[in-house]
Amino acid sequence: MKALIFDLDGTLAETAGDLIGALNFVLAGEGIAAVPVSAARSLLGAGGRALIQRGFLRANRELSVEKLDALFVDFLSFYNEHIADHSFLYPGVEAALDHFAAEGWRLGVCTNKMEASSHLLLEKLGVADRFQFVCGQDTFGVAKPDPRPLLETIRAVGSRPEAAIMVGDSVTDIKTARAAGTPVIAVDFGYTDVPVTELGPDIVISHFDALPSAVRSIRPS
């Protein structure tokens, strides 16, 4: 079975407002100034714990593992309560998902967001039923760029690496796909401080309307 596996934050959905909002909730409790949403591109992409670490690093504050674990609980609770206050699907996402479903593609999500939060967000955005499998950072106990989450997601939707394509927005997704032996299409509107054109994906697109032609160039039949 042909499969498309999507990253979530910065690929399917614009989620920076709510993620940075949850970060700022945690930082405020530690007396750290709020991070502007404009800084999201260099902070997001590796999950909530990494986001908190980067927020502390930005403020030149030390953070122990024990403190990080405690703050992550607060972060996750706040985030899940506000998960779709400002988040939305990128233009063309739903039409693209409909297109590939009609063509018989299996669809999955492989993200560094926690699995429960991923399901919750996709439900709030109205597309949870479009995906045969959703993999979060905690699903298999390891996060991208380790290839295992992607490989297991591909297997869960009934496909193989050579018959699948990863769609993501960052160096994390590109490294993951390369390690898994899977082609990768990158969107250029997500969360990366280095332009994806410099990171070596197979194809770069600027709108989901371009995804069908990009996929056809990789999988002609």
End-to-end CA distance of the chain: 12
CA distance 212 to 109: 18
Q: Can you read off the two tokens belonging to residue 24?
A: 């700022």
Helices (H), the chain: 16-29, 48-58, 65-81, 93-102, 115-124, 148-156, 171-180, 211-218
Determine the Cα–Cα distance for residues 120 and 21; give it in Å rounded to an integer.
Answer: 17
CB-based contact 30:6 (threshold 8 Å): no
C-alpha–C-alpha distance, residues 176 and 199, integer Å: 12
Residue pair 86/80 in contact by the 8 Å Cβ criterion? no
Q: Is 209 a catalytic residue?
A: no
Cβ atoms 164, 147 nearer than 8 A: no
Q: Three-state DSSP class for 64?
A: coil
**Candidates 7, 9, 18, 169; catalytic one:** 7
Name residue 121's amino acid: L
Residues forming the active site: 7
